[in-house]
Every structure is written in structure tokens, then in C-alpha cells.
């Protein structure tokens, strides 16, 4: 099944007799000291009709700490949140956000990792939607989804370090954060030694949609992706990396997510840090 859906395809499915469950996951990364983005307020001001708001920080992540800024949520709590949103295993799910795609991809990855068989991301997010918006807050019937982790690849810090040596570990953050030139969020700049810089922002076109599958495949091949290598992805806290895993999936390339990402890696001073433009 394709991991993305176009706005026109979504409109057709919503008008059918069997619409997908629609999750609005609006969220934005903010720098230290900045006011947090209020995704719920944006949702309440207007959302795709029938969409249910999902809070990334509260429902798609656990409390920040040594495991990172957005560690994986407790599986039971995540399942309960998805059931509240109306998610069942036998009903397709579509996730979307404000257009960047990162938060929607985090929801996609978590649902796929916990075994949901049919999840897609709205390509281009809300910016691609040409239909009406609604301010009515839906009250969906509770779903029946029971999460069973393990359907997608997952790395811990040790696994990410090993993969950087034996396979291909991609760093989905901006290149300047990878090099260590700046670090606006985490306390230490740089990258995991051996990781290759691959900003996920370069996987999208100017209109916010993902590049065509063949262009994505060519890009990842140029970065070293090969059928003989295992591939992993990390970012700052496991959110934008989920978007790169999504882009890899569209290109037909399976990849594992290092969920703790740089915010977990850099929290332990004993872990090595590389800087500069090379993998190190």
C-alpha cells in the first residue's frame, strides 16, 4: 500500500461510504525560549471535516528526559489515544499536519510500527487540501485498535552506532546542525560518528509534496542506499526522521527509526560526537 495519499484521493474517499479515520496532527518544532506552537488552537480554528486532533507531545511521545525530547509513548497509552480517536485495525487511517509532514509522519510511523495495516499521510498536508474546513469537533465512536509493536524497524543508541559502521545511518536534520555549526535545541552540536547528512527537507518539492518515488530513490542511492545495506534514520528527537522513513518507504526502501535520536544520543557525555561536513 502506498504510504501517501493525494488531496483529491482523500476527498473521494471521504465522500465514499467507507471513509478513513482522519487524524489532524498539527505541530511545529520551536527553538529554545520560543513560545510553543498551539496545534489544538489551529485545529479548532479550522480542520478537514471529520478530522480528530491528536497531540504529538501528549499522545505520540512520552515525557522528555534521558530517552530524548520525544521518546516513544507508552504503548498501552498510545493504543488508548488511538482508540479515543476512533482508530480500528480494519479501518484505514489518514494523518495530516499543517504541511511540513513531520508530525503526520510520526503518527504514521507509530501506527505502522504497532501493527496497523493501512495508514497514509496526506501529501502536502493541509496546504494541499482544496475542500472546505470545519470548526465542528467530532465525537467518534471508540475504536478497537490494539497496538502490537515490531512491524517497523526500531533502533536504540547502540543499534544506531553499529549501523553507522556496518550499514547506512542517515541524519535527517538540517546540514548546519549535522555539522555542529549551530544547535538551537539540544545542548551539543554535531552528529553520530559515521552518519551521513540527509536533510529531510530535501525530500519535498516547493509545494510541500514529496518528490516522485523515482527521484527519491535516486537521491537515497546517491547517499549510499543499497539493497545490501541496512538503513536507519535519526534527527533531533525522532519526528523529522519519521518523515525521512516515510520518504524512503515511498521510494521502496525499508528503513529503521532511531526514535531517541540526537536528543537522546547527546544527553550522554560518554557517547562520541563528530562535527564537520564528513561522516566522521
Active-site residues, by number, are 235
Contact between residue 238 and residue 172 where contact means Cβ atoms under 8 Å apart: no
**Angle 15-19-22 from CA coordinates, rounded to 5°:** 110
Contact between residue 194 and residue 164 where contact means Cβ atoms under 8 Å apart: yes
- What are the CA-CA distances from residue 121 to residues 20, 137, 162, 188 (Å)? 12, 21, 30, 32
**What cell does 77 get?**
497509552
3 state SS of 5: strand
Burial of 181 (0-12, 13-18, 19+ CB in 10 A): middle
Contact between residue 200 and residue 225 where contact means Cβ atoms under 8 Å apart: no
- What are the CA-CA distances from residue 139 to residues 86, 136, 155, 169, 198 (Å)? 9, 10, 36, 41, 40
Residues in contact with 140: Cβ distance below 8 Å, sequence separation at least 6, in sequence order? 21, 52, 84, 85, 86
3 state SS of 257: strand
**Which of 37, 22, 20, 16 has its CA nearest to residue 134?**
22
CA distance 10 to 12: 5
Residues paired with 159 in a beta bridge? none
**What cell does 221 get?**
542511492
Amino acid at each position: 500500500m502506498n504510504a501517501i495519499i493525494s488531496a483529491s484521493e482523500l476527498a473521494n474517499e471521504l465522500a465514499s461510504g467507507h471513509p478513513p479515520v482522519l487524524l489532524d496532527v498539527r505541530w511545529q518544532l520551536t527553538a529554545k525560549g520560543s513560545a510553543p506552537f498551539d496545534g489544538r488552537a489551529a485545529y479548532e480554528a479550522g480542520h478537514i471535516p471529520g478530522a480528530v486532533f491528536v497531540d504529538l507531545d501528549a499522545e505520540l511521545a512520552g515525557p522528555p528526559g534521558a530517552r530524548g525530547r520525544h521518546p516513544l509513548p507508552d504503548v498501552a497509552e498510545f493504543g488508548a489515544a488511538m482508540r479515543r480517536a476512533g482508530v480500528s485495525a480494519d479501518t484505514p487511517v489518514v494523518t495530516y499536519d499543517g504541511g511540513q509532514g513531520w508530525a503526520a509522519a510520526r503518527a504514521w510511523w507509530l501506527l505502522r510500527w504497532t501493527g496497523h495495516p493501512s495508514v497514509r499521510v496526506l501529501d502536502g498536508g493541509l496546504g494541499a487540501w482544496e475542500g472546505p474546513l470545519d470548526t465542528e469537533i467530532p465525537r467518534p465512536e471508540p475504536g478497537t485498535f490494539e497496538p502490537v509493536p515490531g512491524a517497523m524497524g526500531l533502533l536504540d543508541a547502540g543499534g544506531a552506532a553499529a549501523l553507522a559502521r556496518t550499514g547506512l545511518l542517515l541524519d535527517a536534520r538540517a546540514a548546519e546542525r549535522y555539522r555542529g555549526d549551530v544547535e538551537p535545541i539540544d545542548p551539543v552540536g554535531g552528529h553520530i560518528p559515521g552518519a551521513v547528512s540527509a536533510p529531510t527537507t530535501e525530500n519535498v518539492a516547493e509545494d510541500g509534496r514529496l518528490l516522485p518515488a523515482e527521484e527519491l530513490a535516486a537521491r537515497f542511492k546517491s547517499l549510499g542506499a543499497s539493497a545490501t545495506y541496512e538503513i536507519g534514520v535519526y534527527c533531533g528527537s525522532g519526528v523529522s526522521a519519521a518523515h525521512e522513513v516515510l520518504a524512503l518507504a515511498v521510494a521502496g526502501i525499508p528503513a529503521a527509526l532511531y526514535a531517541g535520536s540526537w536528543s537522546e544520543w547527546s544527553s550522554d557525555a560518554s557517547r562520541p560526537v563528530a562535527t564537520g561536513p564528513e561522516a566522521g
